[in-house]
Structure 1
């Protein structure tokens, strides 16, 4: 028996099926988590163009500018050691709510900052809150989504980074003409908007059925799956199959004591998972994207685009293009596959960065006198971001949630986030210093790294499309490992559920 054997023939689009419409609407709340993070990077780009912000904080540059850009990352990494435990102990929904409360507090403090110390403290709190919510949110989305929607819905998750970045970019563009501190306080206050919306809407989010079963609350899990996957029918073959498969998988994982971090080192399959977790986290931050995300204004100045209005307009347009590209890619993950889109994106990013480096070198030799060269750099920045949005915005959270079994999902997300923010923290401090001192030559580092990432994705990242969360274990552990026993247990538990007809 497989998932395809129990999927109902709905006979109409999902948005005309009440329980699926309700499910995807409540999932919108969990999908909003990246918006606050996206707001942060885009806002910092915008604030650097505002004269009032520069004057209020004494024109930060070099190392201090690097700290301002990375202090939220420091807050993120400070919370990470606790996020996996919190998500496993309290469930998926409550950590999302806790994280949002912290983020709202940080945004309020940021908007009211009187000095650089308060501004730094506020940004630390924002990163701390994002970290708590960001581990639980994608796990909840993956674990609650309708089976045939999981790929697209989970891929959409990180595209909402651009929802926040678009709001931030255009809010700073709109306040650019204000000649006082409100030009930066208004965008700072708006950073709490996604968190307020998510906090309120999270009231209607159900708990993860996988977490409920792991906590021996199978009746509650059955009701959640019945309500949101089968319109309330607890005897639905789909619901019974899902309960059977989840119960069997969690039972097997518990027997193997696969709830500790050390289990990542015990088997070849888990070591492969660990490698992907660490590498993919680094790829998300060390592909040249952090330069653009936090220091676009500095890059544009180096190619002769010094007008603040033009810089804000480019930043705002870039975020819109990024979002449209990322959301389009999210709807293609089940057609082309996760691995294919990532490899395509890495090749495109490599070529874009290579050309960007060459054009920047020529531009410098001409003393930035040729305005068309500056325009060429802007075009290549847009091109690079389009490819990044195709492969590294929608796919990583989807891919990680799929390759990790339930008992390692939150911990694995934490490991990947830690590797990403650790390298992001380093780059955030190094980027502005390197750009100011060696200019375009610093881009060569990204060109080399992108070549390496392309090779690693090609040889080390298996395809996962077309499988249920539990059956993906077969790719890493083999048919004779966990999955062999799992299939037998699924049939046994399925027979039991059929007999009991859960009500």
Structure 2
């Protein structure tokens, strides 16, 4: 079991997942309030393109936020970058709460998206870099757990809003987006820097102190060994570029393309699994089988409970016990089957005039089971694996590119979903059945297993050479270390003589 320090620090940072869950989830119930529809969508309360814009501009903000995430995480540290993202999310929440027209609402959604785009990039990186290798799946999975808690909270906040009067029905729920990032911004003042970022900045004693806390005060030799491996690997990579444009070029090079494509694919499939569409437009799905108004909002609240339940199962049963790759490909097949059943039920009973209430309830029950299964197999794992794939000097930019890809996928889906639901109805499910089925094969054949390995060792899976595996007596020079005469070389700070041990 991870020590209390690592758990507490990770929970503070994982508030970023909670912020994302609330910000993403609250729009689903907001769109279910008639008062919001008439205030923002016009006198008819129906405007599919504008509805898509309100949802998708949040994802546009996410995409843009990822461009700043990599630079800020390397320049200012992971810690303060997360703090900045929380402040941006607060601005977005304020604008949405005070919105007097659709333009102001869209601007608020955009700023909230920028903040969450940065969070989604940097939070899993930070947690991965402060987690012991054998517990990283569970600890990074805390972000997925907090996302599920955020969705759950948003659904019940939206349900509670139904008992308010007038515009308060949606303004009060939207205001509930503010406490989460406020707590995160304050919490960032009390957490340590990432030890790997400290090593990059040559603040070795601080890195040693943080690693000692991470290892729970164990033998100092273990801390020194861990520090030596991190320091050697980062110095070995020190000649590599870290600015945005060269880093993207490197990510798309033959050496790193496999990792880049897998990280992007995993997060894109978080959208094309169908989860975001069902979450954001669940009120439309419930209306299609005859449930509207408060009943629809109540069902949304119960739906949120299933995600939390599934995430608890993941943390205490699956994380770091099930192989990462198997979790993803088996989960993809499970979701494909569940959506196929839901599609069939919607085809037969997907009408407000249906007389078979049991069939309608069965369709909703399948959506609930889908939510639970998604949380078990994906909600944590899709953040764990991408955060592990890249070397330090590409980690923040690579994760940013993956989150950017996710945001682009979300933009596409949020724009086409309202129109698709109006025109093809239950047939729209077939897109997600096919995408999950294809994903299972890609995970099975192309994704190496990363569980239980240090972030430095994972590079070996993709053909990189570890600094600790270099031939005997090969020196790894710190380019920032002062130059000395040859007879003083053995005492030069920042110089390592790595020897292969049996």
The normalised TM-score by structure 1 is: 0.89
Alpha-carbon separation, structure 2, partners of 1:178 and 1:490: 70
Report the 3-state secondary structure (helix = DSSP H, G, I; strand = E; otherwise coil) of the residue aligned with 1:105. Answer: helix
The alignment status of 1:225 with 2:248, answered yes or no, reads: no
Residue in 1 that maps onto 2:222: 238
Displacement of 1:71 after TM fit? Answer: 1.4
User: 1:475 and 1:105, CA in 2 relative to 1: closer, same or farther beyond 3 A?
Assistant: same
| CA offset digits 1:145-198 (Å, max 9, x no partner) | 234432210112122112211221111211212221111111111111211111
Displacement of 1:40 after TM fit? Answer: 2.2
Displacement of 1:492 after TM fit? Answer: 8.8
Contact 1:34 1:160 in 2 (8 A): yes
The alignment status of 1:108 with 2:94, answered yes or no, reads: yes
Deviates more, 1:285-294 or 1:50-59: 50-59
Residue in 2 that maps onto 1:263: 250
User: 1:365 and 1:159, CA in 2 relative to 1: closer, same or farther beyond 3 A?
Assistant: closer
Displacement of 1:247 after TM fit? Answer: 0.9
Residue in 2 that maps onto 1:48: 31
Contact 1:91 1:211 in 2 (8 A): yes
Alpha-carbon separation, structure 1, partners of 2:474 and 2:47: 59
User: 1:366 and 1:205, CA in 2 relative to 1: closer, same or farther beyond 3 A?
Assistant: closer
The alignment status of 1:249 with 2:236, answered yes or no, reads: no
The alignment status of 1:291 with 2:277, answered yes or no, reads: yes
Of residues 124, 128, 140, the one that matches 1:142 is 128
User: 1:216 and 1:439, CA in 2 relative to 1: closer, same or farther beyond 3 A?
Assistant: same
Alpha-carbon separation, structure 1, partners of 2:471 and 2:306: 44
Displacement of 1:374 after TM fit? Answer: 1.1
Residue in 2 that maps onto 1:383: 369
Displacement of 1:350 after TM fit? Answer: 0.3
Residue in 2 that maps onto 1:320: 305
CA RMSD of aligned residues (A): 2.5
Give ranges in structure 1 of 5+ residues lacking alignment.
1-12, 15-19
Residue in 1 that maps onto 2:409: 423
How do 1:279-428 residues align onto structure 2 when only pairs under 5 Å count? 279-306=265-292, 308-331=293-316, 332-364=318-350, 368-428=354-414
Which 4+ runs in 1 deviate beyond 4 A? Answer: 256-259, 364-367, 486-493
Contact 2:264 2:406 in 1 (8 A): yes
Deviates more, 1:481-490 or 1:433-442: 481-490
Alpha-carbon separation, structure 2, partners of 1:491 and 1:356: 60
Residue in 2 that maps onto 1:6: none
Alpha-carbon separation, structure 2, partners of 1:183 and 1:365: 27
Alpha-carbon separation, structure 2, partners of 1:351 and 1:261: 37
Contact 1:156 1:327 in 2 (8 A): no
Alpha-carbon separation, structure 1, partners of 2:472 and 2:242: 19
Residue in 2 that maps onto 1:170: 156
Contact 1:286 1:449 in 2 (8 A): yes
Displacement of 1:256 after TM fit? Answer: 5.1
Report the 3-state secondary structure (helix = DSSP H, G, I; strand = E; otherwise coil) of the residue aligned with 1:471. Answer: helix
Alpha-carbon separation, structure 2, partners of 1:134 and 1:444: 28
Alpha-carbon separation, structure 2, partners of 1:258 and 1:409: 10
Aligned residues: 476
Report the 3-state secondary structure (helix = DSSP H, G, I; strand = E; otherwise coil) of the residue aligned with 2:193. Answer: coil
Alpha-carbon separation, structure 1, partners of 2:354 and 2:326: 38
Alpha-carbon separation, structure 2, partners of 1:42 and 1:365: 25
Q: Would you tell me which structure has more helix in proportion to its own residues?
A: 1
Displacement of 1:54 after TM fit? Answer: 2.2
| CA offset digits 1:244-303 (Å, max 9, x no partner) | 1101111222245577222224444x2210120221121011111222111111111111
User: 1:330 and 1:490, CA in 2 relative to 1: closer, same or farther beyond 3 A?
Assistant: farther
User: 1:489 and 1:392, CA in 2 relative to 1: closer, same or farther beyond 3 A?
Assistant: farther
| CA offset digits 1:190-216 (Å, max 9, x no partner) | 111211111111111100010111122
User: 1:379 and 1:489, CA in 2 relative to 1: closer, same or farther beyond 3 A?
Assistant: farther
